[in-house]
Amino acid sequence: MARPRVFVGVLALSAIRLTSASTNHIFSAHNRRQSIPTDLPKPWTYVGCFVDNAHGRIVTNQQPDNAQLTIESCVQTCSAQNFTVAAAEFGVQCFCGVELIAGAATAPASDCNMGCGGNTTEACGAGNRMSVYSTSKNLTILPVPVPQNSSIPGSWTYQGCLMEAVGSRAIPWQNIYPTNNSATTCLGQCAAFGYTAGGMEYGEECYCGDVSDVKAAGVGFAPASDCNLPCPGDPIHLCGAGNRIQYYTWTGTPPYVWHTPTNIGHYDFLVPGVVVPLIATVGINGKVTFLEKSGTSEFDNSTGAYELDLSLVNQFNKAWRTMHVKSDVFCSGSVVLPDKGGRILNVGGWSLDSTQGVRLYTPDGSAGVNGTNDWQENFKELALQRQRWYPAAAVLANGSVLVIGGETGSNAAPQPNLEILPKPPGGGTVVELDWLARTDPYNLYPFVFVLPSGRIFVIYYNEARILDPKTFDTVVQLPNLPASVNNFLGGRTYPLEGAAVILPQHAPYTAPITILTCGGSAPGAGIALDNCVSITPEGPNPKWTLERMPSQRVMPCMVPLPDGTFMIMNGAHQGLAGFGLASNPNLGALLYDPSQPVTQRISILNTTIVARLYHSEAILLPDARVLVSGSDPQTPNFPEEMRIEAYYPPYLTQGFTQPSFTITTTDWAYGSSHPIVVHLPKGSTSTMKVSLIAAVSSTHGNAMGARTIFPAFSCSGTTCTITAPPNAFVSPPGWHQLFILDGPTPSHSTWVRIGGDPGKIGNWPNFPDFVVPGV
């Protein structure tokens, strides 16, 4: 908005010029004729004597008092800061600015009659009088400031002068903008982060929050005249005062809608656990494999590996099979391999040899029948090339495995590089990554996704980039991820720990894909983030879209559901990932539905009674429920949590029978067709959907392997033919749970493998003590 300006034009220089300068003047306020310096740097010149504080200060930037003040020193102070106005008041005060504000009016020259502290032959204003100097006699004088009530970007409406709360904040989130605070700056920032209440206090302070925060603070309005400080960035408008907020609310279309459906699903107790699992994986045997670090703070009775038979949850003594790892998986990464056996690969850990651990398990057995396979591991034969605590793992389009990042040990030096498994004989595969070195320690368990171009997308700390799949050179550095309204240093990866997923890909797979990350925290005080941000990295002009969540959440888990939605659950309102670093559990489940318009995608679902803090997990079960486990918070008042819950999403709690299907071919080449015979209790094939949910190993909010695909299919009667995704860039090789949906209601899943084992990882490793499944 263009400021209304009042130009004083060329002011008459009526100040008194003395021809002789006495050195005997004493500093006093007596009415006395004083000189104007003639040795000012060009083009500085005297403008006149002005009334100060009739409606607030008329020059904005007060400098420290100076008992030795002279006009020359005040001009020098202001000039050095590139100001164009210098004004002396009360002998020792110097103010700098670029204009006069607050309706500054001229005073008789004789009013400015106080000698400067450092040279009493010069006039340095008087009480509430300023001797004003400038680089131009053509000085702008701005009017008395008023509240800005129009021309604010967005849909903000001025509400009045709000009282600040006592001992707390009426509006929670503070920014300080010493030079540019204004309604435009402040409310623009509030709107960018989805807040609906905002205001300016004490000139330079900006607050953002929600109307509900103001209501909860119980504060009322003060007389309008209490809000009397000009905005530093817009001095014709007011920015509150001490303990007074120039208060605005968003009155346009709400920036977000959180749905509150009546059907909110429910949590149910599933089975008592035997450990606090660090990693949860549904195997292709339909059982859930858990890995646990060596002992917890309270227990030391674990082998580190257990498998849960979901068909036996009502018979605790039979449900859990004890398995064995040879080294400590704290804090390793896992991914399901595309080999014939659907092996689970686990890499890294803590400490010494464990940090280079490579562990493999081929899921076996069946519902009600224990398998006999166990984790295989032999550090002397098979180890990572580098020590890794908190690495991420991902299957690449060519079927090899990327292992990336981590630290050399627990809270130790960074391991800023990646390596590829299997390692070719004789050759190393490590690639150094300066951007991981630069962002340590906030980039652990980075989020990695293969893009449909074949390139690799990575989120680490608050940054993202696209890598070349062969060289791992950076192809595109994307914009930084927005964090919170008042802290751009917040991030999304451990220990700031949010969660990330790739949004569903639909046949014919021509749309560029979008990556979503929700929650996280900020270094230091651990103020958890209350937003999700998403980006379409290979779309035109990629930038982050921000969506508010209804509450703050660090350590969320995100679970891809068969209907293309995502659960957001677990975590805390406050803190960081790590032992003892979080409090105030977030017990509520959210559903994120990417088929809705942006900002209308989140529904508030049911709540649990179990705090799920650090080392909690959530994964999709083959019957479309969500298994929720952990946590291991080591925080006073929160237990080592072994109880396992099942969450029934709303699609299972609306009273409809789940559909079913039969399938004969489960090993799919890219682009191949596969018939299924469907049984739909409610709808017809015209309202049916088919989805493929990629196998996931979940740890620390990182659902490694997650991907959701809606393949093409056509039906004739109850026989439908599904076309597999076309290539490894759209869908990297791997195991997927195939679901059908009868309207909203999903079936149970069947495991299918897509794309075979192009890297022949099923023959790896070649040692007599490793049993391999083959390709």
Ligand X SMILES: *[C@@H]1O[C@H](CO)[C@@H](O)[C@H](O)[C@H]1NC(C)=O
- What b-and-e string marks burial along 323-351, b requiring 16 or more CB atoms within 10 Å of the CB? bebbbbbbbbbbbbbbbbbbbbbbbbbbb
702-721 positions binding ligand X, by CB under 6 A: none
Sign of CA dihedral 594, 595, 598, 603: negative
Task: Tokens for 358, please give them.
Answer: 């490579």
Paired with 247 in beta bridges are 160, 199
How far apart are CB 736 and ligand X at their closest, in Å?
20
Q: Which helix (H) or strand (E) holds 78?
A: helix 71-80
Distance CA 767, CA 775 (A): 16
Among 129, 287, 321, 748, binds ligand X (CB under 6 A): 321
Q: Which two tokens stand for residue 5?
A: 């300006």
Q: Given the complex with ligand X, which of 216 and 775 has the nearer CB atom?
A: 775
Q: Which residue type, as a one-letter code, is found at position 623?
A: D
Establish if 318 lies at the interface with ligand X (CB under 6 A). yes
- Among residues 93 and 606, whose Cβ is nearest to ligand X? 606
Task: Collect all residues with Cβ–Cβ distance below 8 Å to 275 and sequence separation of at least 6.
Answer: 290, 292, 296, 299, 302, 306, 642
Q: What are phi and psi of 226, to 5 degrees?
A: -65, -35
Among 76, 378, 385, 429, binds ligand X (CB under 6 A): 429
Residue closer to ligand X (CB basis): 76 or 429? 429
Choosing from 147, 283, 348, 537, the residue that interacts with ligand X (CB under 6 A) is 147
Interacting residues of 315 by C-beta distance below 8 A, sequence separation 6+: none
Tokens encoding 591: 């559903």
Question: Is the link from the previous residue into 681 a cis peptide, with omega within 30 of 0?
Answer: no
CA angle 277, 692, 260 (to 5 degrees): 75
Find the part of the chain contacting ligand X (CB under 6 A) among 259-267, 326-334, 574-582, 585-593. Answer: 259-267
For tokens 């600040």, the residue is 164
Per DSSP, the chain holds a count of helices (H) and strands (E) of 5, 60
Q: Looking only at residues 166 through 205 of this chain, which bind ligand X when binding is defined by CB under 6 A?
A: 177, 180, 185
Nearest to 58 by CA among 91, 13, 14, 88: 88
- Residue 315 one-letter amino acid: Q
Task: Find the length of the chain.
Answer: 775
Looking at residue 224, what DSSP letter applies? G
Using the minimum distance from each CB to ligand X, give the nearer residue, 248 or 710. Answer: 248
Q: Which of 152, 170, 241, 264 contacts ligand X by CB under 6 A?
A: 264
* Shorter beta-carbon distance to ligand X: residue 653 or 714: 653
Binding-residue pattern over the window 100 to 129 for ligand X, x denoting contact by CB under 6 A? -------------------x-xx-------
Which of 115, 232, 399, 564 binds ligand X (CB under 6 A)? It is 399
Residue 285 in contact with residue 363, Cβ under 8 Å? yes
Nearer to ligand X among residue 229 and residue 516 (C-beta): 229
Residue 81 binds ligand X (CB under 6 A):
yes
Structure tokens at 577: 């990932």
Selected binder of ligand X within 22, 151, 253, 301 (CB under 6 A): 301
**238 interacts with ligand X by CB under 6 A:** no
Using the rule CB under 6 A, is 669 a contact of ligand X? no
- 398 belongs to the binding site for ligand X (CB under 6 A): yes
Does 370 contact ligand X by CB under 6 A? Answer: yes
- Backbone angles phi and psi of 524, in degrees to 5: 85, -110
The total of other beta-carbon atoms located within 10 Å of residue 294's CB is 17
Please say which residue, 554 or 730, places its beta carbon nearer to ligand X. 730
Stretch that binds ligand X, among 296-304, 341-349, 611-619, 713-721 (CB under 6 A): 296-304
Counting residues that bind ligand X (by CB under 6 A) gives: 44
CB-nearer residue toward ligand X: 266 or 343: 266
Instruction: Report the nearest approach of ligand X to the CB of residue 418 (Å).
Output: 9
Site for ligand X contains 408 (CB under 6 A): no
As measured in angstroms, the least distance from the Cβ of 7 to ligand X is 5
Is beta strand 344-347 parallel, antiparallel or unpaired with respect to 431-432?
A: unpaired
x/- site string to ligand X, residues 456 to 495, per CB under 6 A?
A: --------------x-------------------------
Closest CB 510 distance from ligand X, rounded Å: 25
Place of tokens 């007596």: 30
What contacts 253, CB < 8 A, 6 or more positions away? 155
**Residues from 613 through 642 that contact ligand X (CB under 6 A):** 642
Task: Quickly tell me which residue has 């400067």 as its tokens.
Answer: 116
Least distance between ligand X and beta carbon 759 (Å): 4
Q: Which residue number, 233 or 255, has a Cβ lying nearer to ligand X?
A: 233
Query: Which of the stretches 204-212, 312-320, 441-449, 510-518 binds ligand X when contact is defined by CB under 6 A?
Result: 312-320
Residue identified by tokens 């490894």 is: 728
- Selected binder of ligand X within 60, 77, 302, 631 (CB under 6 A): 302
Nearer to ligand X, 185 or 249 (CB): 185
In the sheet that 719-723 helps form, which strands lie side by side, from edge to edge? 660-663, 673-679, 719-723, 712-716
Q: Which two tokens stand for residue 460?
A: 């680490």
Position 297 contacts ligand X (CB under 6 A): no
Residue list 515-554, contact with ligand X (CB under 6 A)? none
Residue 503 contacts ligand X per CB under 6 A: no
Residue 280's contacts (CB-CB under 8 Å, 6 or more residues apart) are 288, 289, 290, 617, 618, 619, 627, 629, 697, 698, 699
| Contact status: 56 vs ligand X (CB under 6 A) | no
Nearer to ligand X (CB atom), residue 471 or residue 686: 471
CB of 65 to ligand X, least distance (A): 19
The interface region with ligand X, picked from 5-13, 352-360, 474-482, 523-531 by CB under 6 A, is 5-13
Q: Residue numbers of the site for ligand X (CB under 6 A)? A: 7, 9-10, 21, 35, 37, 81-82, 119, 121-122, 138, 146-147, 149, 177, 180, 185, 264, 266-268, 274-275, 299, 301-302, 312, 317-318, 321-322, 368, 370, 396, 398-400, 420, 429, 470, 606, 642, 759
